[in-house]
Chains A and B, each alone.
Chain A
């Protein structure tokens, strides 16, 4: 069966808004346009009700209470609020942060900026399978460590981190633990109580909601009192000022509710398709390298290196047929390999040949088969002109 082209396999970058989500959002652009802070009239009341309903839906997705959810403009803001807010609140206790080398830039860059402001940061290396070793992580905690930030699932290689074990180490030392759960929440079970984390970031557009809205879970028992980073209106119990994006928040809530309902079935469905993709590529191309643990991995992620092939060139060949992502960008003849691939200890050549496939709610078996045929053909052809694959280096 012919698939619509290009086939979208880049769901870690973003997802389409589910029509069921959009339907719930639309009235809040027009008829129900009120400001949720307008407490004096029905327009405001209705907007506020919708926001509080969404807050409940988001809380339920991650096992939190509604009052522990702070809406933001997205996960990047949530990460900034969590890290900068926690460090600011606990600065007197010390300015040491522990994170991991494979974190998203929205965490690493925040840590780097705090370093410029006098904090110290320990970046714990990951093991070759992409996982943080609990003992190495624990060893990095020290007197003066106020916060650790480790992602639930990696945005490139999809590897899941042992968050509950890291939380135990943090709890025993009075260190708050933040997790960037953007790629995991809504795709695999994330329960902030079971994980025992203090702060968790999520994003709507990774779970079939709209762009420009996210949330931060801020634990209330025991209370995690972070400092606001945006002030000027007192919204979100003083933690994030600014008129609430009501349609976006409604969309996040609706997306969270759907993800919660459908996760059990959907995660198995996409895992089967992901395995079909891997098997198809292996059958067509022989040896390919899967980057990161296959066991501890998001069900909709596959990240592979095609030896001898540049991922960016492959994407150009695939552009009309399959939308995927490669981790490297090239400029002026010299390139920086992906920091995640470098953290795994992979050679630059493996990094440049790396491609991320992100399956999604709309992905079908026919699409996977079509993508396999397409990728296999282009990789084989690119290998014919590759000096790396054929050993023709002068």
Chain B
């Protein structure tokens, strides 16, 4: 798939990705999650840092993958900032794919990014002993 197949939004996020990077493991305020597989060519890792108010106050991502994978991870990383944990776990891959104007064969990249986000939220909840956010829940944290 060549570059011309991508929207300017994807290209801009590849050239100037926002929130790329990683925090060291072990920070209690940080939850980490990943999705995909290096063996299959795409692997996305997302980290969420949760503030005292229970909202995600910052994020980081790392990606090995194509342009759509990078743009999706960067987009989700941006979208999570300020969200509750429930909102973070519920980011819709369809919305990400639509916002980035991904073609049908690239929409799975958006799903990887949102799966990594869910995984990061769950990781934070597991490690802090907070309850799992069911449907409609606010994530078990006061909001």
Q: Which of A's residues lie within 8 Å of B, judged by CB?
A: 308, 310, 312-313, 315-317, 319, 328-335, 337, 348-349, 352, 378, 384-388, 390, 392-394
- For residue B42, give the distance in angstroms from its CB to the closest CB of chain A: 6
Contact of A387 among B39, B45, B108 (CB under 8 A): B45
- For residue B63, give the distance in angstroms from its CB to the closest CB of chain A: 6
- For residue A184, give the distance in angstroms from its CB to the closest CB of chain B: 26
What is the bound-complex CA distance between A310 and B17, given in angstroms?
A: 15
Q: Once the chains bind, are B62 and A392 in contact (CB under 8 Å)? A: yes
- For residue A101, give the distance in angstroms from its CB to the closest CB of chain B: 21
Interface residues on B, range: 35 or more
Q: Once the chains bind, are A333 and B112 in contact (CB under 8 Å)? A: yes
Chain B residues with CB under 8 A of A312: 1, 66-67
Instruction: Tell me the residues in window 88-139 of chain B with beta carbons closer than 8 Å to chain A beta carbons.
Output: 105-106, 108-109, 111-112
**A330-B45 contact given A319-B11, A349-B38, CB 8 Å threshold:** no
Q: Once the chains bind, are B3 and A316 in contact (CB under 8 Å)? A: yes
Q: Once the chains bind, are A392 and B40 in contact (CB under 8 Å)? A: no
Chain B residues with CB under 8 A of A315: 2-3
Chain B residues with CB under 8 A of A334: 40-42
- For residue A378, give the distance in angstroms from its CB to the closest CB of chain B: 8
Q: Once the chains bind, are B109 and A333 in contact (CB under 8 Å)? A: yes
What is the bound-complex CA distance between A337 and B109, given in angstroms?
A: 17
What is the bound-complex CA distance between A352 and B4, given in angstroms?
A: 19
Interface check B14, CB cutoff 8 A: yes
Instruction: Tell me the residues in window 1-29 of chain B with beta carbons closer than 8 Å to chain A beta carbons.
Output: 1-4, 6, 10-11, 14-15, 17, 20-22
Residue among A308, A330, A348 with max Cβ neighbours from chain B (10 Å) = A330
Interface check B34, CB cutoff 8 A: yes
**A313-B32 contact given A333-B42, A387-B45, CB 8 Å threshold:** no
Main secondary structure of the interface of A (DSSP, over half): mixed
Q: Once the chains bind, are B67 and A332 in contact (CB under 8 Å)? A: no
Q: Once the chains bind, are B40 and A333 in contact (CB under 8 Å)? A: yes
Residue on A nearest B17 in the bound complex, by CB: A385
Interface check B75, CB cutoff 8 A: no
Q: Once the chains bind, are B70 and A333 in contact (CB under 8 Å)? A: no
Apart from A316-B10, A331-B106, list 20 A-B contacts with CB within 8 A: A313-B70, A315-B3, A329-B1, A330-B65, A331-B105, A333-B112, A335-B41, A349-B64, A352-B41, A378-B15, A384-B20, A385-B61, A385-B62, A386-B64, A387-B38, A387-B63, A390-B22, A392-B22, A394-B32, A394-B33
Residue on B nearest A311 in the bound complex, by CB: B66
**A313-B66 contact given A385-B20, A394-B34, CB 8 Å threshold:** yes
What is the bound-complex CA distance between A319 and B11, given in angstroms?
A: 9
Q: Once the chains bind, are A386 and B62 in contact (CB under 8 Å)? A: yes
Chain B residues with CB under 8 A of A310: 41, 64-66, 69
Chain B residues with CB under 8 A of A388: 38, 43, 64
Chain A residues with CB under 8 A of B66: 310, 312-313, 330, 335
Contact of B70 among A319, A352, A385 (CB under 8 A): A385
Residue on A nearest B68 in the bound complex, by CB: A330
Supply 20 A–B pairs (Cβ within 8 Å), ascending by A: A312-B67, A313-B14, A313-B65, A313-B70, A315-B3, A316-B10, A316-B11, A316-B67, A319-B4, A329-B1, A330-B66, A333-B40, A333-B42, A333-B109, A335-B40, A384-B20, A385-B21, A386-B62, A390-B62, A394-B32
Residue among A315, A316, A386 with max Cβ neighbours from chain B (10 Å) = A316
Chain B residues with CB under 8 A of A329: 1
What is the bound-complex CA distance between A387 and B66, given in angstroms?
A: 13
Residue among A315, A333, A337, A378 with max Cβ neighbours from chain B (10 Å) = A333
Residue on B nearest A335 in the bound complex, by CB: B41
Q: Once the chains bind, are A319 and B3 in contact (CB under 8 Å)? A: yes
Q: Once the chains bind, are A392 and B3 in contact (CB under 8 Å)? A: no
User: What per-residue 1/0 map shows which CB atoms of B39-55 lie under 8 Å from chain A?
Assistant: 11111010000000000
Residue on B nearest A329 in the bound complex, by CB: B1
Residue among A315, A331, A335 with max Cβ neighbours from chain B (10 Å) = A331
Q: Once the chains bind, are A333 and B36 in contact (CB under 8 Å)? A: yes
Residue on A nearest B123 in the bound complex, by CB: A394
